[in-house]
Amino acid sequence: MTKAEIAGVLEEIGTLLDLKGENPFRVRAYLNAARTVDGLQEDIGKLVAENRLTEIKGIGKDLAAKIVELHTTGKLKFHEELRASLPPGLLEMLRIPGFGPKRAKAVYEKLKVDSIEKLEAACKAGKVAALDGFGEKSQQKILEGITLARQFSSRHHYHKARAVADPILEALRDHPGVIRCSLAGSIRRCRETIGDIDFLVSAKAKDAPGIIEDFVTMPGIINVSAKGETKASVVLKGGVQADLRVVADDQFAFALNYFTGSKEHNIAMRARALRLKNLSLNEYGFSPAKEKEKSAKELGSTIKCKTEEEIYRALELDYVPPELREDMGEIAAAEAGTLPKLVELENLRGTFHNHSTWSDGLESIEAMAHAALDLGLEYFGIADHSKSEFQAHGLDEKRVRQQADEVKRLNEKFAGEGFRIFFGTECDILAEGRLDFDDKTLELFDYVVASVHQGFTKDTDKMTQRICKALEHPAVTMLGHPTGRLLLEREPYAVDMNAVIETAAKHKKIIEINAHPYRLDMDWRLWKRAKELGVKCAINPDAHNIPDLQYLAVGIGIARKGWLERKDIINCLPVKEVAKVLNRK
């Protein structure tokens, strides 16, 4: 089992114990261990082999033995017994946003409710509102949550889909029968959530059945939903669905273009082919419009295209990168030769919004900075939480001063490597847009990320004013996770993002792409407008541990979807230039 899978089991144990009403300390111990394991930098196999798990803070002998069992056998008896001791529907109920173990336990014990369906019925019958500690309002909230949970359950976060897709893509690439292969669909377009993963390969017709057979028996595939000569649908680990299609190599470019989508982009492409060339375009190729759809399939494409570039060229268009294929103006721009030169991961030189053990991170500033240096970055910004975030150990003024000294000390140490740490804060935006620190304290920082963490309201005007007010403050450098959304979990708070973007433009404030895969906030659909107004972007992993720094790559995908170029993103600037931008406050 991988680190992430082990962490998943430990977390579930914590939750199950909580559902059983076990000692909260024991529950915490598992939840904390899950976080620790997930954030481990060292290879878990190595730690197991060298018998060093107990050296990790918070992992005692008992937990270590369980991790070893999970790592070596892929399961844990304790976990399975615990699972079997409770109705499976109870865990399912926890997928309802805002519905935690305490509530699940209460409805289970008092109403015998042990599934989402029964919970829905009980709410509709008014039985939940009548329970101690619930009431009409929370009953209504639960019903809304059930609707959300149903919408969400069929989609997956991008990085989770990527994590299961990549090894399968590798295996397909290594398959002797496979000529070319690629991801397609929403995952290739870097959408923030993925319905199903689409794999496409080209092969000789005689090799197709063997490829399909090997695909459906690959490790990581837990169920086969459909299997034909050239196509299969499966369920992967984690419940993600995937499609594989095998096509002839001379159809590969057309199939890749079609199955990458989006559907809207395809429709626009097809319309253009008809208008410009009087040709019909589908996943098999171009064919004369008057002939039947299948003609390209049977007779081959009227215009041969080996690559997608050639398809776009045939339609007198510049090549459109997959991230832009959303029918949001990309065809017109490709025709006019005005497509952006999209930012790439290699362009990034630093990052700003990250946490350390000073607040709720898992690593010291030094360890985080080192990891950033190892990734090839030239600077690293630390922005721990401010004092109102007491659950996250937010820093008060005294600790801010201590942290400033620590950053200074570290910068002397890193100077030799040409690496710099910027000293920032993730400062809470309080009610009415007040900031969590006074102006004097704010002056201590190189930059200020201002974020909303509490006091969400349904009043759009109030929230918009609150955020805009904070953006007007001269000490604020950038806005953190602008809408507070948690993808597939929590809707954005009500806020007029157009007004926020305009205020940011007016006061020359930066807006973040929070690259944490649950956030990806500000949304990519809004960046074109922001860019028009001259708003700059910062791509921030919001890293709480070392592996989180990898989220920068996810953030780059979202920036590309937002049509952003290197010059739009401040963490593409060299360190001296960045220092100037941060100083401009």
> What is the three-class DSSP state of 455?
coil
Tokens coding 224: 């086969």
- 322 lies in the binding site for Ca ion (CB under 5 A): no
Please report, for residues 55, 189, 528, the alpha-carbon distance to residue 319 in angstroms, rounded to integers and kept in the order given: 53, 14, 19
Residue 280 makes contact with Zn ion by CB under 5 A: no
C-beta of residue 343 within 8 angstroms of C-beta of residue 572: yes
557 touching ligand DGT, by CB under 6 A: no
Of the candidate spans 83-91, 197-205, 219-227, 531-539, the one that interacts with Ca ion by CB under 5 A turns out to be 197-205
Residue 267 binds: one of Zn ion, Ca ion, ligand DGT, none (C-beta under 5 to 8 A by kind): ligand DGT
Scanning the structure block, which residue is given the tokens 């935690």? 100
User: Would you give the DSSP letter of residue 229?
Assistant: S
Region of residue 433 (left: phi > 0; alpha: psi -120 to 50; beta: else): left
Task: Mention every residue, 6+ apart, whose C-beta is less than 8 A from residue 209.
Answer: 229
Q: Which of residues 180-199 bind ligand DGT (CB under 6 A)?
A: 185-186, 191, 194-196, 198
CB 422 to Ca ion: min, Å:
39
Q: How far is the CB of 348 from ligand DGT (least distance, A)?
A: 26
Which CB sits closer to Ca ion, 166 or 417? Answer: 166
Stretch that binds Zn ion, among 202-210, 364-372, 405-413, 446-454 (CB under 5 A): 446-454
Per rule CB under 6 A, is residue 361 in the interface with ligand DGT? Answer: no
- Considering only 134, 259, 379, 493, the residue that binds ligand DGT (CB under 6 A) is 259
Q: How far is residue 420's CA from residue 442's CA, in Å, rounded to a whole number? A: 20
- Please pick, from the candidates 32, 54, 233, 262, the single residue that binds ligand DGT as defined by CB under 6 A: 262
CB of 221 to Ca ion, least distance (A): 15
**Closest to ligand DGT by CB, 125 or 271:** 271
54 binds ligand DGT (CB under 6 A): no
Compare residues 243 and 378 and give the one whose CB is closer to ligand DGT. Answer: 243
In the complex, least distance from residue 131 CB atom to Ca ion, rounded to whole angstroms: 41
Whose structure tokens read 């497509």?
339
261 binds ligand DGT (CB under 6 A): yes
Between 198 and 326, name the residue whose CB sits nearer to Ca ion. 198
d(CA 47, CA 56) in angstroms, rounded, equals 10
The nearer residue to Zn ion, 354 or 571, going by C-beta atoms, is 354
Could you give the 3-state DSSP secondary structure of residue 90? helix
Residue nearest to Ca ion (CB): 185
The answer to whether 541 contacts Ca ion (rule: CB under 5 A) is: no
Residue 463's H or E segment, with its range, is helix 460-472
Pick between residue 243 and residue 428 the one whose CB is nearest to Ca ion.
Answer: 243
Residue with tokens 């776009």: 312
CA distance 108 to 104: 6
d(C-alpha 304, C-alpha 322), whole Å: 21
Number of chain positions touching ligand DGT (CB under 6 A): 14
When asked if residue 27 is in the footprint of ligand DGT (CB under 6 A), the reply is no
**Binder to ligand DGT among 205, 222, 226, 267 (CB under 6 A)?**
267
Q: Is 198 in the site for Ca ion (CB under 5 A)?
A: yes
Contact 418, 445 (CB under 8 A): no
Nearest CA to 531 among 344, 343, 379? 343
Structure tokens at 275: 């208008």
Region binding ligand DGT by CB under 6 A among candidate stretches 11-19, 199-207, 261-269, 399-407: 261-269
In the complex, least distance from residue 457 CB atom to ligand DGT, rounded to whole angstroms: 32
Question: Smallest gap, in angstroms, from Cβ of residue 392 to Zn ion?
Answer: 9
**How would you classify residue 220: left for phi > 0, otherwise alpha for psi between -120 and 50, otherwise beta?**
left
**139 binding ligand DGT? (CB under 6 A):** no
Q: Is 126 exposed, middle or buried (0-12, 13-18, 19+ CB in 10 A)?
A: exposed
Rounded to whole angstroms, the Cα distance separating 109 from 107 reads 6
CB of 549 to ligand DGT, least distance (A): 26
Can residue 571 be called a binding residue for Zn ion (CB under 5 A)?
no
Helix (H) or strand (E) holding 451: strand 447-451
Q: Is 308 in the site for ligand DGT (CB under 6 A)?
A: no
Pick the piece of the chain touching ligand DGT (CB under 6 A) from 248-256, 262-270, 365-373, 511-519: 262-270
| Stretch 232-251 residues interacting with Ca ion (CB under 5 A) | 243
Instruction: Give the nearer residue to Ca ion in terms of CB position, either 198 or 568.
Output: 198
The answer to whether the peptide bond before residue 522 is cis (omega within 30 degrees of 0) is: yes
**Cβ of 133: how many Cβ atoms within 10 Å?**
8
Chain centroid, CA 541 distance in Å: 10
Q: Does 359 bind Zn ion (CB under 5 A)?
A: no
Q: What residues have CB less than 8 Å from 89, skipping those under 6 apart?
A: 114, 115, 116, 118
| Rg of the chain taking only CA atoms, in angstroms | 26
Could you say which of Zn ion, ligand DGT, Ca ion, none residue 451 binds, taking C-beta under 5 to 8 angstroms by partner kind?
Answer: Zn ion
Closest CA to 256 of 209, 312, 195: 312
Cross-sheet strand order for the sheet of 379-385: 350-351, 379-385, 420-428, 447-451, 478-479, 510-514, 537-540
CB-closest chain residue to ligand DGT: 261
In a 13 Å sphere around the CA of 8, the CA atoms on its Cβ side amount to 11
Tell me which of 202, 359, 451, 483 binds Zn ion, using CB under 5 A.
Answer: 451
Closest CA to 185 of 272, 276, 255, 86: 255
Which of 190, 314 has the CB closer to ligand DGT? Answer: 190
Would you count residue 446 as binding Ca ion (CB under 5 A)?
no
Using the rule CB under 6 A, is 356 a contact of ligand DGT?
Answer: no
Choices 27-35, 58-66, 92-100, 448-456; region in contact with Zn ion by CB under 5 A = 448-456
**Which one of 233-241, 304-312, 340-348, 449-457 is the stretch in contact with Zn ion (CB under 5 A)?**
449-457
Give the residues lining the site for Ca ion (CB under 5 A).
185-186, 196, 198, 243
Give the residues lining the site for Zn ion (CB under 5 A).
451
Give the residues lining the site for ligand DGT (CB under 6 A).
185-186, 191, 194-196, 198, 258-259, 261-263, 266-267
